């Protein structure tokens, strides 16, 4: 197994390496790939130092799998080159997610759609992954008609520049700004750029990607995405309207029995999901499970997960694991 990590020096790339090591992913040869300014530098993996190489050298090496986390422009240009060389690309950017010929995969939900012909596979957006992990089994049971979503997203979803902005603000240092406003003691209803309809790209990702993953374009979805000054973990308030009546105890049972989902829901003793506890974990945590008394067949959930792990790196590695386990490489 020859595996390449594209964008190895970035936030998600580094977490990918951590996850590969933790899960003991079988690697005979590892290629760490980054931009030209990082080529020649060293990074450690499983106690061994590896020299960072450039994209051209990586393509020429013809890895079996390439895990991409280097931004959409890099993925658009280079993923097809790897695929043409016989490499299976698992891409963490938004570049390929809505391409009708590319599978958008959360392994627990729809990995069975993958085949040997899928040489570029898209990893969904972080906020989408954690939500569909919780709602997919409920959709299967009750059919979802509508979703109303409000997200509370960590600055780590923006990248190193945003983390540095918060650190500078906490230290009283004037520095480079990732956002148009301060983020410390603030909340910005502005994740990614605004589209013509007045929604941000992040909000529309929740709409389009959810429909694609669940293979149901009939679900009506609206979202507001907010950036908050937490260093790790996204939170979401999700209101669900089902087609049919549901039983609240059965909802809890379904969620309890869903692999990768952990129910934390005991308000009597202040037990509910929070990003401070999800940080560094691979599970999706669900709590505040309660009936929406204002609408028939409606339910409220509070969903929290580490956006750099299950929301990005872990989901990517899990796709690679599925490909190996099912002889799709």
Give phi and psi for 12, each to the nearest 5. Answer: -70, -40
* 307, two tokens: 């956006």
What pLDDT does residue 281 have?
Answer: 97
Of 126, 139, 184, 190, catalytic: 126
In a shared domain, residues 42 and 139: no
Domain count, the chain: 2
Mean pLDDT (the chain, rounded):
97
Domain of 159, CATH number, reads: 3.30.360.10
Mean pLDDT confidence for 77-103? 97
**pLDDT on residue 4:** 98
Same domain, 111 and 35: yes
**pLDDT in the model for residue 258:** 98
Whether the Cβ atoms of residue 188 and residue 171 lie closer than 8 Å to each other = no
- If asked whether residues 132 and 98 sit together in one domain, one would say no
Are residue 171 and residue 91 in the same domain, yes or no? no
Check whether residue 138 and residue 272 sit in a common domain: yes
In Å, what is the CA distance from 306 to each residue of 123, 223, 241, 290? 15, 20, 26, 23
Burial state string for 179-195 with b = 16 or more CB within 10 A and e = fewer than 16: beeebeeeebeebbeee
- Across residues 182-187, what is the average pLDDT? 97
Let me know whether 171 and 263 are in one domain.
yes
- Region of residue 174 (left: phi > 0; alpha: psi -120 to 50; beta: else): beta
Residues 162 and 79 in one domain: no
Q: What is the pLDDT of residues 32-69, one digit of tens each?
A: 999 989 999 999 999 999 999 999 999 999 999 999 99
Four-residue CA torsion sign, 147, 151, 156, 157: positive
Residues 285 and 320 in one domain: no
Q: What is the predicted pLDDT for the residue at 66?
A: 98
In terms of domains, do 84 and 147 share one?
Answer: no
- Could you write out the three-class secondary structure of 256-310? HCCCCEEECCEHHHCECCCHHHHCCCCCEEEEEEEECCCCCCEEEEEEEECCCHH
Task: Report pTM.
Answer: 0.96
Task: Judge whether 191 counts as a catalytic residue.
Answer: no
Give just the sign of the alpha carbon dihedral 91, 94, 95, 97: positive
Mean pLDDT score, 243-264: 98
279 Cβ contact list (under 8 Å, min separation 6): 231, 232, 233, 306
pLDDT at 236: 98
Tell me the CATH number at 54: 3.40.50.720
Domain identity same for 67 and 146: no
Same domain as 320, residue 292: no
Range(s) of the domain holding residue 257: 127-307
Same domain, 84 and 101: yes
């Amino acid at each position: 197994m020859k595996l390449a990590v594209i964008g190895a020096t970035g936030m998600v790339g580094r977490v990918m390496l951590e996850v590969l090591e933790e899960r003991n992913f079988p690697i005979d040869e590892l290629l760490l790939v980054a931009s030209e300014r990082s080529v020649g530098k060293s990074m450690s993996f499983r106690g061994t130092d590896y020299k960072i190489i450039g994209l051209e050298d990586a393509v020429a090496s013809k890895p079996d799998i390439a895990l991409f986390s280097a931004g959409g422009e890099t993925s658009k240009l280079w993923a097809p080159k790897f695929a043409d060389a016989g490499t299976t690309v698992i891409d963490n950017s938004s570049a390929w997610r809505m391409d009708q010929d590319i599978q958008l995969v959360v392994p627990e939900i729809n990995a069975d759609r993958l085949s040997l012909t899928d040489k570029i596979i898209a990893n969904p957006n972080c906020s989408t992954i954690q939500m569909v992990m919780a709602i997919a089994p409920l959709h299967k049971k009750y059919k979802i008609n509508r979703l109303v979503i409000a997200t509370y997203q960590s600055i780590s979803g923006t990248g190193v520049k945003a983390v540095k902005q918060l650190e500078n603000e906490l230290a009283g240092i004037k520095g480079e700004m990732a956002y148009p406003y301060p983020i410390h003691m603030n909340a910005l209803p502005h994740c990614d750029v605004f589209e013509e309809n007045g929604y941000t790209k992040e909000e529309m990702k929740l709409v389009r990607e959810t429909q694609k993953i669940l293979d149901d374009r009939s679900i009506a979805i609206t979202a507001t995405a907010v950036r908050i000054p937490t260093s790790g973990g996204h939170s979401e308030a999700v209101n669900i309207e089902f087609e049919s009546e549901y039983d609240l105890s059965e909802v809890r049972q379904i969620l309890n029995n869903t692999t990768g989902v952990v129910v934390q829901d005991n308000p009597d003793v202040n037990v509910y999901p929070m990003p401070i506890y999800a940080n560094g974990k691979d599970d999706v945590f669900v709590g505040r499970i309660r009936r929406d008394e204002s609408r028939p067949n409606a339910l409220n959930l509070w969903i929290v997960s580490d956006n750099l792990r299950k929301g990005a790196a872990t989901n990517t590695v899990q796709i690679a694991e599925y490909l190996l386990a099912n002889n799709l490489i």
